[in-house]
Structure 1
């Protein structure tokens, strides 16, 4: 590879195994990868999205989606060709195809080899990426953003997650965590590096017009994925009813809910606006009369460092949250922490007291630029000699027949 013009080091290829696709809704991976590409002209990234699962789509009565060949992703400030995204296809469930993860790993290795890369660094966010590490032995970091071992999953899927994480914790040269909670739990097992989440402060403080699909009148807004792993749907229903006649509870973000849950929310008066392009999100936050966090308080949510914590603080609006990690200990006078029983009334009380944006949007908030610098340091250590145990020779690796075991999950 050619030398990096601004960095003075050889070019680096990075393979990111993500829990999320590269789409218009940006999460931690996209912010960090974009920042790294903009600051390192020698870097090339293959962003591997979660595998398409057409059979599961059919069973779930959804239109089947298929994988996509590697494609160029356009990114402001980055020449085309330095960022590509790839979505493989998983044809059969793991309970039917015991080598499903290994097959996916082989496809990823072929795509990487086809790009001319022979010695990439591996960034694992999806624990299923343990199969790629086992197959390749590429120098690897494990970026832990959620404690999936605490999430509600089937016994078979939980067992698989335990095995995959044990392998990653043992064999990755670097482990990064996003929250103090994860630093405490994962750091008890080995050295970890804390790289919390953040926000693009300047972008979120640039005034935007009121989004046209916000309902008229006062609004309490939540921005994030509406998922049963973290959202208290009963509390959403109670809050919408408490606001009836005075305002609306608006949920902005992907909502992978079953039809019964979705119907229950809508009948209670909750406004579901769905996923929005990242460029549109600040407008919803700036025009909220209150921002809310109706999250469950569970061991899983205790592991999180919510990006919305930084987004909410950047716009300076009043916030009402259940006592979850991040918001509970923020020390921000604009954050009201309320028990589930007191939450609906606290939201109703916060709405009429709100001053228009940009009032309050003047506090110090952590910026993604600082997090990119931290992650760059981790990658430099990895490229400087931090490798992985040789492929296939660690506990929890492949069995003698080349499989990772049929665990009865998708």
Structure 2
């Protein structure tokens, strides 16, 4: 544990009224990711006075030009910390170095202007982050949380996350009071370094279906997938579903990070529709078009480090769900079908479509209503309170 932190019995999360949250991508409002839901939830807590979310500048914005006020207690900013497309190891021009130095000065000044002081500040960071060490040094905080959503040491070594993850992950215990994870694999990996708390993903209330949304399955059922198409997506399984169930329409929602989807031949089939990336607030409308939702993930070390957010969004829509046999499904396993081989996966689709009913629809939605971000955030903060308790004074 870092010796830079105050260890006093009076440091409780209730006294941490200001939260400074750093995410490693510029995608606020696009995917409804974990960091966004946590920030929104924190800003609604009675004990929290101010939440600042700081993202990387993807279009050259600076702290002075990018302020986005979400509410009176939540602001999103873009910090210029490196030239777009360059790594931390590449030489920077004199102008770029001066701009970076000015941003650091602005960050310190802006933090103080919002009332952030060491005694009241909770620093919440999501590694792998390009400047995690700079932020830990620069931001005075009474407590620090590191949250691992996916294990980026398991991605392709050419991905920009990889070198930062390899460097930072073994050192998190020396910098943070609490490490938050969303999978059993990450809990086992990081709990040896520091106190660790595991949470499942949750669902935003906007995804909860109304009973009037239930529709019996017709002769051309729509099978849907919502998510990013990349290394964990089983494109071959989707291709087999589309070919062997020609009476079904396959609706695909989300961006691709490589060309495996585009090059697979799947998009050329007449019963396949790919709408690409849509804003997070439009995803519930896409889910309403579906009769059944799919989680066609490959079982890999990387996928085992994840907790699929789409699982809770699917269940909130009231639709039946058929998933590959992957990690992160335990909490809702009684409500979904989990199949380990393609043949069984296809049979499960047929059976779930045939057996769907309003009673099952309502059961799924009722379950989803209890999977709130408020409950997840409260669990994290309660664990932090325990970590910062008298035993560490």
Q: TM-score, normalised by structure 1?
A: 0.74
- Find the counterpart in structure 1 of residue 189 from structure 2: 185
Bigger helix share: 2
Is 1:367 matched with 2:369?
Answer: no
Render the CA deviation track for 1:13-52: whole Å, top value 9, x for unaligned.
Answer: 4132344521232111111110110114643222222442
SS at match of 2:44: helix
CA distance in 1, matches of 2:164, 2:237: 32
Of 64, 75, 88, which aligns to 1:83?
Answer: 75
Q: Superposition pairs for residues 101-250 of structure 1, below 5 Å?
A: 109-117=104-112, 119=118, 120-128=121-129, 129-133=131-135, 135-136=137-138, 138-139=140-141, 140-154=144-158, 158-200=162-204, 203-206=207-210, 217-226=220-229, 228-244=230-246, 246-250=247-251
CA distance in 2, matches of 1:329, 1:41: 29
CA distance in 2, matches of 1:8, 1:170: 24
CA distance in 1, matches of 2:78, 2:33: 17
Asked if structure 2 preserves the Cα contact closer than 8 Å seen for 1:204 and 1:315, the reply is: yes
Where do 5+ consecutive residues of structure 1 fail to align? 1-6, 53-64, 211-215, 388-410
Deviation at 1:382, TM superposition (A): 8.4
Asked if structure 2 preserves the Cα contact closer than 8 Å seen for 1:105 and 1:132, the reply is: no
- Find the counterpart in structure 2 of residue 320 from structure 1: 322
Q: Aligned residue pairs: how many?
A: 360
Moved more, 305-314 or 378-387: 378-387
CA distance in 2, matches of 1:159, 1:10: 32
Deviation at 1:109, TM superposition (A): 3.3
- Find the counterpart in structure 2 of residue 93 from structure 1: 86
Change (3 A) 1:329 1:360: closer
Render the CA deviation track for 1:153-184: whole Å, top value 9, x for unaligned.
Answer: 23996444211222323221221112222112
Asked if structure 2 preserves the Cα contact closer than 8 Å seen for 1:338 and 1:346, the reply is: no
- Find the counterpart in structure 1 of residue 5 from structure 2: none
Asked if structure 2 preserves the Cα contact closer than 8 Å seen for 1:21 and 1:50, the reply is: no
RMSD, aligned α-carbons: 3.8
- Find the counterpart in structure 2 of residue 403 from structure 1: none
